[in-house]
Amino acid sequence: MNWFERLKSGIQTVVRRGMPENLYVKCARCHQMALRKHLESNAGICPNCGHHFRVHYKQFLDLILDTDTFEEVASNVRSTDALGFEDRIKYGDRIKEYGKRTGMQAAVCVGVGRIDGRAVGVGIHEFGFIGGSLGAAEGERISRLIDRCITDRLPLILICRSGGARMQESALALMQLAKINAKLTQLADARLPFISVLTDPTTAGVSASYALLGDVNIAEPNALIGFTGERITGSSVGEEELEALRQAQRAEKVLEHGFVDLVVPRTEMKQKLSHLLSLLGETAGV
C-alpha cells in the first residue's frame, strides 16, 4: 500500500466530492483544503491548524518504528460473528466489507519492532476497521502480544484509536476489557514497561480498559479521550452540556485533570517514546 492509499483509508470521510481525491483533503477542524502531499510530508498533520488526521495504522507505525523492523504477530487471529448478529447488515458481512476496505481481519495490528534500535512490542488500532472497535479477535491479538513481551522481555506500546468495545460482539466484547487488563497484571509482574499512546478518538470501552493504565500515558494534541463515546445516545444531554463534555475530553484537559502524562505532537512521538524507553527499559538499579 502506498502512502496515498494509506492516508485515504484513514481519512476517507473528509475527502470532498468533486475534488480530485488524490490531490486535496479537507481538514475536519479548520475546514481548509490541504494538499495531500503537504499532509504526507507533515505526518498527517494539517499544515494550516495543526490538526492531527486519523492516519492509517501503517503510516503511524512508519513514524515511530525504525524502517522495516515491524514484524506482525497473531495475524491469523480474525474477527468472527460468534453471536449471529444482524443489525442493518449482517455482522459477518460487515467484517468482510471492512476487511476488503482496509486489508485487515481485525481492528488491531500487533507485532514487534524497533525504536532507535531498541526492541519493543507494539499494538495499534486501525480506525478504518469498524471504528477501531475492540472485539474478541482484537483482545486475543493484544493478549498474545503481551505474552510475547513477557517471553522476550520487551516493553509494550499500545496505540489506541477506538470508539470502544464492539457492539456486535456484545458481552464477549465487554469481557475483552477485563481480559486485557488481567494480562497487563502479568506484564506488570514481569516489571516490563507499558506505554499507552492515546490518539483521536480513545473512548468508551478502550478508555475503560488499557488506554489509561500505562506506566506512562501519552496523548496526541486535541485527541478526544473519555468514557462517553462520540456517538452519545439518549436525549437527556443538551447541546451546551455536550460541548462542555467534549471540552473536558480533549487531551490537554485530560492532562490537566491528571490522567495523561504528556501531550506530544505526532512529529515528536518517536523521539519521546525512545527517550522514555531509554529511561524505563533498564531493569538494573536497586
Partner 1 sequence: MPNGKPYLDFEKPLEEIELKIEEMTAHAESEHLDMSAEIAVLNQRLEKVRQEIYTDLSAWQKVQIARHPQRPYTMDYIDLIVSDFIELHGDRLYRDDPAIIAGLGRIDGRPVVVIGQQKGRNTKENLHRNFGMAHPEGYRKALRLMKMAEKFRRPVVCLVDTPGAYPGIGSEERSVAEAIARNLFDMAQLRVPIVIAIIGEGASGGALGIGVGDTILMMEHAWYSVINPDSCSLILWRDREKKEVAAENMKISASDLVELGVVDRIVPEPLGGAHKDPNLAATNLKQAIVSAIEDLNRRSIDELVPSRIDKFARMGKWEE
Provide the binding-site residues for Zn ion, judged by CB under 5 A.
27, 29-30, 46, 48-49, 51
Task: Say if CB 29 and CB 223 are below 8 A apart.
Answer: no
The candidate with the shortest Cα–Cα distance to 92, out of 79, 104, 103, 101, is: 79
Strand partners, 224: 250
Smallest distance from partner 1 to CB 211, Å:
7
Please give the grid coordinates belonging to residue 203: 473512548
Smallest distance from partner 1 to CB 199, Å:
15
254 counts as binding partner 1 under rule CB under 8 A: yes
Smallest distance from Zn ion to CB 49, Å:
3
Q: In whole angstroms, give the CA distance from residue 12 to residue 73.
A: 27
**With CB cut-offs between 5 and 8 Å by kind, which of Zn ion, partner 1, none does residue 49 bind?**
Zn ion
Q: In whole angstroms, give the CA distance from residue 283 to residue 191.
A: 8
Task: Say if CB 14 and CB 51 are below 8 A apart.
Answer: no
Q: In whole angstroms, give the CA distance from residue 141 to residue 159.
A: 14
**With CB cut-offs between 5 and 8 Å by kind, which of partner 1, Zn ion, none does residue 209 bind?**
partner 1
Q: Which of residues 71-90 bind partner 1 (CB under 8 A)?
A: 76-80, 82-88
190 counts as binding partner 1 under rule CB under 8 A: no
Q: Which is nearer to partner 1, 27 or 211 (CB)?
A: 211
**With CB cut-offs between 5 and 8 Å by kind, which of Zn ion, partner 1, none does residue 48 bind?**
Zn ion
**With CB cut-offs between 5 and 8 Å by kind, which of partner 1, Zn ion, none does residue 168 bind?**
partner 1
**With CB cut-offs between 5 and 8 Å by kind, which of Zn ion, partner 1, none does residue 51 bind?**
Zn ion
**With CB cut-offs between 5 and 8 Å by kind, which of Zn ion, partner 1, none does residue 181 bind?**
partner 1
Backbone angles phi, psi at 134, to 5 degrees: -95, 115
Beta strands in 116-215, from DSSP E residues, in sequence order: 118-125, 156-162, 194-203
Side-chain-facing half-sphere of 257: CA atoms under 13 Å: 12
Number of residues counted as binding partner 1 (CB under 8 A) = 65
Total Cβ atoms within 10 A of residue 237: 13
Binding residues for partner 1, rule: CB under 8 A, are: 76-80, 82-88, 106, 135-137, 139-140, 143, 165-179, 181-186, 204-205, 207-213, 226-228, 231-234, 241, 244-245, 248-249, 253-254, 257, 259
